[in-house]
């Protein structure tokens, strides 16, 4: 099987090799023999070549790949060089990776249990990046287009429904969980944005009313109160589906429920392809110190395998990570420990 590695910038170049080591350490009984190729993308690539996402990277992913891992991107917020834009955003569009899937889960015995998945539409909303600046009656004015389509909204709602059904199958098979029935929460702001968010809400409702999803409970939540209720009672939520911007914000906020962005994985998913991507950034403040938490990347390896149909291998990885966290002897500094990146990886490999 072909796995492509895109380390990107900063600590991405430290945690993506950890993901490779996990794939290489999987028991032979899974019969997963991966070949690996490193591909270039990121701000560092832009500085070296003038291109943040080389065509070669995209073409290799399209033609020669079963799955991929993406590390992190350093995206400057000030003095952005002309011609630079986020390569991961571009990659999602060029490969039609229309869903960003972000599980957030505490380990067994947590004081406030959390077990939810945020499913974020990945290709439109304000992230179409159609902006303009002009002189208006109030002086210099900036405007951005928010684009919501029925097509994308139906797709992302069906993805959320499929994930809710799969999670319920796992629960029915004997997995302990705080949830009893599948639940999808549609998150929007249609009380203000009646056209754009109204279309998202209506389309999601239509998709989840299909016969396939009749066993799923469906509810709605206005996005601002969603943040409040997510912190107040996170155990209520199972699968949350949202447009791009709200899903992005909710995903990072939900990471606080489990203690660190360094624990939270994600997958960028299309019809036939998935890229695992840890939720943290390039973290230049700790780059090169060997203390980056590799768990978000390792869990992203599991997610990539899930969407490749290798659910048993993914479950093995999740179990090894959970055992490391539950024991709590080898934790990275973001979790209050002093373990190095390699020490955490070695401990998880032993548990495989």
Kindly give the confidence (pLDDT) of every residue in the chain, 352 residues in length, as a single tens digit, with 9 standing for 90 and above.
888 999 999 999 999 999 999 999 999 999 898 999 999 999 999 999 999 999 999 999 988 788 899 999 987 777 778 888 889 888 988 998 999 999 998 887 677 889 999 999 999 999 888 999 999 999 999 999 999 999 999 999 999 999 999 888 878 876 666 778 999 999 999 999 999 999 999 999 999 999 999 999 999 999 999 999 999 999 999 999 999 999 999 998 998 898 888 999 999 999 888 999 998 989 999 999 999 999 999 999 999 998 998 988 998 999 999 999 999 999 999 999 999 999 999 999 999 9
Phi and psi at residue 227, to the nearest 5°: -60, -45
> How many CB atoms are located within 10 Å of the residue 48 CB?
10
Is 352 in a helix, a strand, or coil?
Answer: coil
Q: Locate 105 and state its tokens.
A: 């889960």
Look at residue 175 in the predicted model and tell me its pLDDT: 62
Q: Which of 41, 51, 52 is nearest to 16 (CA)?
A: 41
Is 247 in the same domain as 274? no
Reported as type and span, the H/E element at residue 2 is strand 2-8
Please state the domain count of the chain.
2
| Cα separation, 101 vs 75, whole angstroms | 22
Given the structure tokens 């060089």, which residue do they identify? 81
Given the structure tokens 């009749």, which residue do they identify? 214
In a domain, 77, yes or no: yes
Is 318 in the same domain as 264? yes
Domain boundary residue, one of 222, 257, 292: 257
User: Sign of dihedral through CA atoms 228, 229, 231, 232?
Assistant: positive
| Cα separation, 37 vs 32, whole angstroms | 16
Residue 241: give the domain boundaries. Answer: 147-257
222: domain CATH number is: 3.40.50
Q: Which of 11, 14, 20 is nearest to 276 (CA)?
A: 20
| Cα separation, 351 vs 316, whole angstroms | 9
Is 268 in the same domain as 289? yes
Is 4 in the same domain as 58? yes
- The residues near 141 (Cβ < 8 Å, ≥ 6 apart) are 133, 134, 135
Is 97 in the same domain as 41? yes
271: domain CATH number is: 3.40.718.10
């Amino acid at each position: 099987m072909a796995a492509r590695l895109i380390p990107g910038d900063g600590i991405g170049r430290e945690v993506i090799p950890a993901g490779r080591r996990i794939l290489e350490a999987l028991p032979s009984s899974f019969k997963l023999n991966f070949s690996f190729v490193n591909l270039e993308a990121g701000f560092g690539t832009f500085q070296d070549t003038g291109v943040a996402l080389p065509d070669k990277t995209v073409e290799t992913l399209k033609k020669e790949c079963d799955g991929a891992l993406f590390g992190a991107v350093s995206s400057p917020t000030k003095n952005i060089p002309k011609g630079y834009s986020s390569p991961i955003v571009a990659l999602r569009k060029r490969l039609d990776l229309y869903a960003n899937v972000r599980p957030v889960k505490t380990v067994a015995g947590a004081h406030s249990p959390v077990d939810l998945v945020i499913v974020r539409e990945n290709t439109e909303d304000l992230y179409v990046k159609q902006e303009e600046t002009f002189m208006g009656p109030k002086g210099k004015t900036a405007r951005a287009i928010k684009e919501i389509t029925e097509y994308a909204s139906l797709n992302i709602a069906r993805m959320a429904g499929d994930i809710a059904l799969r999670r319920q199958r796992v629960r029915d098979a004997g997995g302990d969980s705080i949830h009893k029935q599948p639940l999808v929460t549609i998150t929007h702001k249609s009380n203000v944005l009646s056209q754009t968010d109204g279309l998202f809400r209506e389309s999601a409702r239509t998709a989840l009313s299909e016969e396939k999803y009749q066993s799923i409970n469906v509810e709605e939540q206005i996005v601002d109160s969603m943040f409040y209720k997510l912190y107040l009672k996170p155990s209520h939520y199972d699968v949350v589906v949202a447009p791009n911007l709200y899903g992005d914000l909710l995903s990072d906020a939900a990471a606080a429920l489990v203690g660190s962005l360094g624990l939270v994985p994600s997958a960028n998913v299309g019809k036939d392809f998935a890229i695992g991507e840890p939720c943290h950034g390039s973290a230049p403040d700790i780059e090169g110190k060997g203390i980056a938490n590799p768990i978000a990347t390792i869990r992203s390896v599991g997610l990539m395998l899930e969407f490749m149909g290798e659910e048993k291998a993914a479950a093995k990885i999740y179990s090894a990570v959970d055992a490391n966290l539950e024991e709590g002897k080898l934790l990275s500094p973001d979790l209050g420990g002093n373990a190095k990146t390699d020490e955490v990886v070695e401990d998880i490999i032993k548990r495989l």
